[in-house]
Amino acid sequence: GESRPAVSDVHRGPTGPIEVPSRLLMGPGPANVSPRVAAAQTLPLLGHMHPPFFRIMDEIQQGLRYVFQTDSPYTLLVSGTGHAGMEACIANLIEPGEKIVVGNKGIWGARVTDLASRYGADVIDLQTPPATAFSYETLEQAVTEHKPAVLFLCQGESSTGVHQNLAGLGELCRANGTLLLVDTVCTLGGIPLHADDWGIDAIYSGSQKVLGAPPGAAPLFFSERAFQKLRNRKTPVASYYFDLNLVGDYWGWFNKRFYHHTGMVSNWYGVREALAMTADEGLDHLWQRHGNCAQMLWGGLSSMGLEPLVEVEAERLATVNTIKVPEGVDWAAVNANAMSKYSVEIAGGLGGTVGKAWRVGIMGYNATPANVELVLAAFRDGLRQQGRL
Ligand code: PMP
For range 153-172, the mean pLDDT:
98
The region, left, alpha or beta by phi > 0 then psi within -120 to 50, assigned to residue 175 is alpha
Is this complex's ipTM strictly greater than 0.90?
Answer: yes
Nearest to 202 by CA among 57, 317, 100: 100
379 — pLDDT class (breaks 50, 70, 90): very high
Query: Domains in the chain, please, with CATH?
Result: 24-30+283-385 (3.90.1150.10), 35-280 (3.40.640.10)
Q: What is the pLDDT of residues 55-92, one digit of tens each?
A: 999 999 999 999 999 999 999 999 999 999 999 999 99
Inter-residue contact 199 to 170 (CB < 8 Å): yes
What amino acid occupies position 357?
Answer: A
Q: Report how far Cα 264 is from the mean position of its chain's Cα atoms.
A: 18
The alpha carbon of 7 and the centre of ligand 1 are apart by a number of angstroms equal to 42
Nearest to 369 by CA among 288, 303, 278, 310: 288
Q: What is the pLDDT of residues 188-199, one digit of tens each?
A: 999 999 999 999
Q: What's the confidence (pLDDT) of residue 276?
A: 98
User: Alpha carbon of 370 to those of 109, 297, 304, 376, 377: distances in Å?
Assistant: 34, 11, 18, 10, 11
For residue 183, the tally of other CB atoms under 10 A from its CB is 29
Q: What's the confidence (pLDDT) of residue 5?
A: 94
Inter-residue contact 53 to 387 (CB < 8 Å): no
Q: Is residue 159 lining ligand 1, measured as CB closer than 6 Å? A: no
Q: Is residue 154 lining ligand 1, measured as CB closer than 6 Å? A: yes
DSSP 318: S
Inter-residue contact 220 to 77 (CB < 8 Å): yes
Count of residues making up the chain: 389
DSSP 218: E
Q: Is residue 85 lining ligand 1, measured as CB closer than 6 Å? A: no
Q: What is the pLDDT of residues 224-243, one digit of tens each?
A: 999 999 999 999 999 999 99
Q: Is residue 206 lining ligand 1, measured as CB closer than 6 Å? A: yes
User: Alpha carbon of 70 to those of 59, 99, 196, 197, 219: distances in Å?
Assistant: 15, 27, 5, 8, 13
Residue nearest to atom 6 of ligand 1 (CA): 185
For range 343-357, the mean pLDDT:
97
Pairing between β-strand 344-345 and β-strand 24-25 as defined by DSSP bridges: parallel
